[in-house]
Amino acid sequence: MARTVYIVEQDCQGCGLCEDICPEVFRLNEQTEVAEVFKPAGGPEDLIQQAVDSCPAECIYWEEE
Ligand code: SF4
């Protein structure tokens, strides 16, 4: 089953950690200063999981499809 990630942007602190861990999937929007998922399937799942686990705001979630 495919899984995708999403970010609850209002909870994001804009720390950039997710982008540091997996820049293929996450990036910080320079205008809003919150992270966004621009390519949900762009990176390996273990790196995405690492971003989920490392996010200080705990605002990155998996969504089962
Ligand atoms: S790690 Fe979490 S708080 Fe930090 S930029 Fe990414 S989504 Fe936002």
DSSP letter, residue 53 = H
Query: Is 52's C-beta closer than 6 angstroms to any atom of ligand 1?
Result: no
* String of DSSP letters for 7-52: E-GGG-----HHHHH-TTTEEE-TTT-SEEES-TTSS-HHHHHHHH
Query: Is 16's C-beta closer than 6 angstroms to any atom of ligand 1?
Result: yes
Domain span at 8: 3-64
| 2 CA distance to ligand 1 middle (Å) | 23
* pLDDT at res. 41: 86
Domain at 16, CATH number: 3.30.70.20
Report the alpha-carbon distance of residue 49 to residue 62 in Å, rounded. Answer: 9
Query: Is 35's C-beta closer than 6 angstroms to any atom of ligand 1?
Result: yes
In degrees rounded to 5, what are phi and psi of residue 39? -150, 85
Q: What is the mean pLDDT of each run of 10 residues along the chain (65 residues)?
A: 88 98 97 95 93 98 86
How many separate domains does the chain show? 1
Q: Alpha-carbon torsion 20, 23, 26, 31, what sign?
A: positive
